[in-house]
């Protein structure tokens, strides 16, 4: 007699059964185990094609699925089913949610304040820096950063979140035991070690086939309140993610790029079609704020006003709505006293760097007396301004 969880895998693996059919049957009958106790006429009466109903009734290949479930603890993974309390609430709302997810790592998926950052694999240097900066600042403000572990923009978004000691989720187009691209193995391990996780609806051992990625993208966008596109060509997988986000009633953002670059034609077109323009992290947060009122801001705690020099200037055009005069940063109470004004903090960091050829980021944090998130944010800003250079091993020096 198969275990109850095996029936979940079996229902999805039966010929002709996709996510929409799974959702229809589970809503009608409650559990896959009950569905497998029905005859084909009873299943077809729920609105399922008769051939599909027969394939469910005739399914007998349970033994390999038992072995697949037994393998999960060996790779540090678990099964999260559509009816489980820890199934992502955002994802449950879409039209074709996966009936279950394989989750590798300690990540709890109940956090609804997720934002996706995706873009080109062959990204420009400035695009990659922007992705890292957005990932870092969103994670520092309590958001979970979601991306696809791909080369380029995805990898840098994950790394930015990790640099802020935040949580990030990687949605894969392969099994959670398969790391693609292989050079991101260390990044995947860091995501797990940092409290995040690798997520997939695909079987254990499934290789990264091209046809898996478009369906993967619906999970990536479905988990999130919004999707930020950083560099996308005219024919890009990121544009598929943007389209799916719109179909799921998610907000789509895009970072503008040079019209002379083919890498940004797709993201620039999204802006023409109504995507929200992103130049800084506050562009994302302000747009999504109304959606977070019901569940609270991420990591609700004291709200510390940022010093005036950090505020985003109001655009001069008269038809643009004014931004708030004060930008708020979410910060835990125990860190409140360690947040200094950016001018004094920047000077402190630069003075520390003057005293050494290269300093490790941990040394800068310790000697400056600032919290880690503030130091990481200011180092990134100084690097983008050309005043600081980052070296391998998280070493920094004056440029």
User: Cis omega before residue 315 (within 30°)?
Assistant: no
Phi, psi of 80 (to 5 degrees): -115, 115
Does CATH number 3.40.50.450 belong to domain 114-290? yes
Residues of the chain with CATH 3.40.50.450: 114-290
Look at residue 384 in the predicted model and tell me its pLDDT. 66
Average pLDDT, 10 consecutive residues per value, the chain (399 residues): 92 94 94 95 94 95 95 97 94 94 95 94 93 96 96 96 96 96 97 97 93 91 96 85 93 89 87 92 89 48 30 33 30 32 71 83 79 76 78 80
What's the number of CA atoms in the CB half-sphere (13 Å) around residue 164? 29
Q: 298, 113 in Cβ contact below 8 A? A: yes
pTM for the complete prediction? 0.73
Look at residue 312 in the predicted model and tell me its pLDDT. 31
Tokens at 260, concatenated: 């002379």
From 377, 385, 291, select the one nearest 329 (Cα to Cα). 377
Round to whole Å and give the CA distance between 220 and 240.
Answer: 11
Record: fold of 1-68: DNA polymerase; domain 1 (1.10.150)
Residues of the chain with CATH 1.10.150: 1-68
Look at residue 373 in the predicted model and tell me its pLDDT. 67
Look at residue 125 in the predicted model and tell me its pLDDT. 92
User: Which numeric CATH code is attached to 333-398?
Assistant: 1.10.10.10
Strands 276-277 and 168-171 come out as: unpaired
Look at residue 299 in the predicted model and tell me its pLDDT. 39
Round to whole Å and give the CA distance between 399 and 397.
Answer: 6
Look at residue 349 in the predicted model and tell me its pLDDT. 86
Kindly provide the residue ranges of all beta strands, DSSP E only, lying in the chain, ordered along the sequence: 77-81, 100-104, 114-119, 144-147, 168-171, 197-200, 226-230, 251-255, 276-277, 303-305, 328-330, 359-360, 388-391, 395-398
From 250, 236, 257, select the one nearest 131 (Cα to Cα). 257
Round to whole Å and give the CA distance between 19 and 213.
Answer: 15
Say how far residue 319 (Cα) sits from the centre of its chain. Answer: 33
Look at residue 372 in the predicted model and tell me its pLDDT. 73
């Amino acid at each position: 007699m198969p275990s109850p969880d095996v029936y979940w895998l079996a229902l999805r693996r039966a010929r002709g059964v996709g996510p929409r059919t799974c959702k229809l049957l589970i809503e009608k009958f409650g559990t896959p185990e009950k569905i497998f106790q029905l005859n084909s006429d009873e299943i077809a009466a729920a609105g399922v094609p008769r051939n599909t109903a027969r394939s469910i009734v005739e399914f007998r290949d349970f033994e390999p699925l038992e072995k697949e479930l037994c393998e999960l603890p060996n790779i540090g993974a678990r099964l999260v089913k559509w009816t489980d309390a820890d199934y992502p609430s955002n994802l449950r709302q879409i039209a074709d949610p996966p009936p279950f997810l394989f989750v590798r790592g300690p990540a709890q998926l109940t956090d609804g304040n997720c934002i996706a950052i995706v873009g080109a694999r062959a990204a420009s240097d400035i695009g990659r820096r922007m992705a890292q900066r957005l990932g870092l600042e969103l994670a520092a403000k309590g958001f979970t950063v979601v991306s696809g572990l791909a080369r380029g923009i995805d990898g840098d978004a994950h790394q930015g979140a990790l640099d802020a000691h935040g949580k990030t989720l990687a949605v894969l187009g392969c099994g959670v035991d398969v790391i693609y691209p292989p050079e991101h193995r260390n990044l995947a391990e860091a995501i797990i070690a940092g409290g995040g996780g690798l997520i997939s609806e695909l079987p254990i051992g499934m290789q990264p086939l091209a046809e898996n990625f478009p369906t993967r993208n619906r999970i990536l966008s479905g988990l999130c309140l919004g999707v930020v596109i950083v560099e996308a060509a005219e024919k890009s997988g990121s544009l598929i993610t943007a389209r799916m986000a719109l179909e799921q009633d998610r907000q789509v953002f895009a970072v503008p790029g040079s019209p002379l670059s083919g890498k940004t034609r797709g993201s620039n077109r999204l802006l023409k079609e109504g995507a929200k323009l992103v130049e800084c992290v506050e562009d994302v947060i302000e747009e999504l704020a109304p959606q977070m009122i019901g569940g609270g801001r991420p990591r609700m705690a004291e709200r510390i006003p940022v010093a005036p020099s950090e505020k985003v200037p109001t655009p001069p055009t008269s038809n643009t709505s004014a931004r708030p005069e004060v930008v708020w940063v979410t910060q835990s109470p125990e860190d409140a006293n360690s947040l200094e004004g950016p001018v004094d903090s920047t000077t402190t960091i630069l003075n520390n760097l003057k005293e050494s050829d290269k300093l490790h980021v941990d040394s800068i944090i310790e000697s400056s007396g600032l919290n880690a998130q503030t130091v990481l944010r200011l180092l990134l800003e100084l690097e983008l301004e050309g005043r600081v250079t980052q070296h391998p091993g998280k070493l920094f020096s004056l440029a």
